[in-house]
Amino acid sequence: MNAEQKGQILKKKEKLLELLKRIYNETFDNKTKKQKKDFFKLLWVKEMYTLINEIRTPIAEKMGVDPSFIPQDKVCLFTLTPEKQKEFKETWKQFLKAMNLKTEKERKKISIPFYNRLEELRKEMREKIGIEEIERLTKKEMEKIELLTETLSKEIKIEALEAEIKRLRAEGKTPEEISKTTKRTEQEVIEILSRENTEIDVPAIELIHGIERQQDGYITLCRKINKEHQDLAGIKINELRECLPKLLPWLAKDAYFSVNASYRSHPWRKGVEGFPAGWRKEKNPPTLKYLNACYCDMDCYKAGLKWSSAVQIILQAQEENIIPPASIIARSGRGIYLLWLLTSERTGAQQRAFPQEIALYKQINKAIIERLDNYEPRLMPDRIAFDAARILRIPGSLNTEAETGQQQVNFIIQVITGNKVPVYTLKNLAEKFNISVQPLPYEPAIIYKRQIKNRGSAPGRRQGKIATGNYRISDLLTIAQNQGGFKQGKRWKSISYFCYFAKAAGFTLSDIEKQSQDLAEKCDPPYPSEPDDTPVLKIVKNIWVKYTPRFNNDLLSKFFKVTPKLADDLGLHSIIPACLSQERADKPSEQETLKHNRRELIKRIIRKRPGNIPSLRKLKKILENKGLKASVETINTDFKTAINELKNV
DNA sequence: GAGATCGCATAGCGGTGCTG
DNA sequence: CAGCACCGCTATGCGATCTC
């Protein structure tokens, strides 16, 4: 901007001020000096405000929306900086205060004629100065708008977004976290990530199938992220291939799998992608089912030993019968894993993980460590890694702690004479390491109790169990009525279920006895009907003294043959299929639905009526006619959101 | 005066933790 | 797990105030 232009603008400003001065003198006279000063301060802000109203169209163009999308007063919001808005309000307040006006009515008495006069002034200005010049006058404001619109439409471009997502992934963030920071859905993030070459591919992970050979075992998948352990999933071996695509993005770096398999996944802890977490424990309670391989983890890099030299030493040790030939020799990134695959003495079966066998397994692992350490200390076998719940790095994944170029975890399968991968039984290995198999000393079984931070600290939460019991009883009785009594073959179990639920609901023994007998009589045929049917009172007594197991509503619904439709028809609350309970949980709340409907309708109105957006109050009436009741305040927020959403489309 | 917005109270939602 | 208690937070609406 050159000096001449500046001079012109200043002149216009002076003109404006002069006009305003005149109005001021017409509107209010006999005011104190301070009052006048305050007023002029206000006028300056006010003047800007007025001018801003003139540039509604250019703002709309900048924003890429129809001018009507920006109501007159909202122009102010878009153009004034927050500081300026504050200043404006503050000055006005101070001015009114200075005028010594107490009530709202008194204020209006003054402000209304003032605003009316201002309106006249605007007309005058338009005629005298002309719009173009006003626009030039507000060039500075336009610059501000430009800045604002930039921040408003902060749309990260697609390439930039992808780069950002990849960068965050490299930092070790989960897709969930990334979706939060980039405001994209998790689905999109995962899709973008999967376009990238994932370091791990399916054939590499197939190796896991070679190690975990019993199809009904559960494998644990986890990873190390920011030096912290994260459970990813506990997956049945025969479902591994199916589940893998979902999990691959999580397995690229510092990912681990359990060497030995469990009998199930974790009962309540969640992993990622909707999978349950893995559950691998030697005891309290024991969850391992199969022992798949003995192993040795060596940190030879600590002794400065290269992988290739370490492998040479291992091969030499095999040659010299220090250790039996390993089935797999692996590079873990910085060290070596050795794996000796196990099998059962019964052909075609897998070694089960009974306590006795776990004890032997650990002894063998310890013996391996001992032998190798004696043979070549530079191998640096990890002396604490001999347990049965161990996890090892997944073949094909990356070890981010290793040097670049040596990060990939490689599994090398050793084929020895007879074109076979060596497989051992625990007994074979025990013999080779001179371990005598001794019976375990008797240990009383430890009843499993969940770890709780502060047991007994919230007695009120017992209500949860009682409610569950009552819900289930109510559902069970409804089902019984619907079926015309429980049928033969299901009567004993159904009565048992009733007893368990009633016990959980806090019924007394005599109540349970009475109601169970009622239920038994209503069975089809009435229970007991055969001579060797357990009497009802005996069932009750047994359950009364027994530990109450946890029940799963999905399984219960399968037992009672409750389909989603039947559950809905009967109005069941608890004993319903998992898919239905999921559906119920996923259903947006009523509030949410109403909000969504309101906003959609508002959007439609905006699109339908360019240049003629109804006021909030009119919108309110339109919405009311469609059965959507809400206050102006609510509709105001809805309106703003709708405008923003339209802009982002 | 009509319309928009602010401040505040509160119902209800959702996340976390405990219970058996 | 499946429930409730607890707690923080959000959505909502009323009355007051501000804007034009």
> Residues of A from 409 to 468 whose C-beta is within 7 A of strand B: which are they?
450, 452-459, 461-462, 464-465, 468
Q: Which H or E run contains A192?
A: helix A186-195
CA R_g for chain A: 38
Tell whether the model's pLDDT for residue A159 goes beyond 60. no
Tell whether the model's pLDDT for residue A305 goes beyond 70. yes
> Residues of A from 42 to 81 whose C-beta is within 7 A of strand C: which are they?
49, 72-73, 76
Q: A616: Cβ under 7 Å from strand B? A: yes
Q: What pLDDT shows up at residue A521? A: 92
Name the closest nucleotide to A103, judged by C1' and CA: C17
Task: Say if CB A261 and CB A292 are below 8 A apart.
Answer: yes
Q: Which residue is nearest to nucleotide C14 (CA to C1')?
A: A631
How far is the C-alpha of A150 from the C-alpha of A196, rounded, in Å?
Answer: 30
How far is the C-alpha of A486 from the C-alpha of A209, rounded, in Å?
Answer: 44
CATH numeric code, A202-432: 3.30.70.1790
Per-range mean pLDDT, top range of A62-66, A81-85, A171-175, A354-358: A354-358
Q: What pLDDT shows up at residue A4? A: 59
Q: Which residue is nearest to nucleotide B2 (CA to C1')?
A: A617
How far is the C-alpha of A596 from the C-alpha of A610, rounded, in Å?
Answer: 22
Nucleotide B2 C1' to residue A101 CA (A): 23
Q: Which residue is nearest to nucleotide B1 (CA to C1')?
A: A112
Name the closest nucleotide to A93, judged by C1' and CA: C18
- The SS3 assignment for A331 reads strand
Q: What pLDDT shows up at residue A146? A: 43
Q: What pLDDT shows up at residue A520? A: 92
Name the closest nucleotide to A631, judged by C1' and CA: C13
A507: its two tokens: 């019924």
Q: Give the HSE-up count for residue A540: Cα atoms under 13 Å, Cβ half-sphere.
A: 18
Q: Which residue is nearest to nucleotide C12 (CA to C1')?
A: A634
Tell whether the model's pLDDT for residue A296 goes beyond 90. yes
Q: What pLDDT shows up at residue A284? A: 67
Q: Which nucleotides of B are covered by protein (CB under 7 A)?
A: 1-7, 12-14, 17-20
Q: What's the pTM value of the predicted model, to 2 decimals?
A: 0.45
Q: A163: Cβ under 7 Å from strand B? A: no
Nucleotide B15 C1' to residue A585 CA (A): 14
**For the residues A309-331, what does the mean pLDDT come to?**
89
Q: A77: Cβ under 7 Å from strand B? A: yes
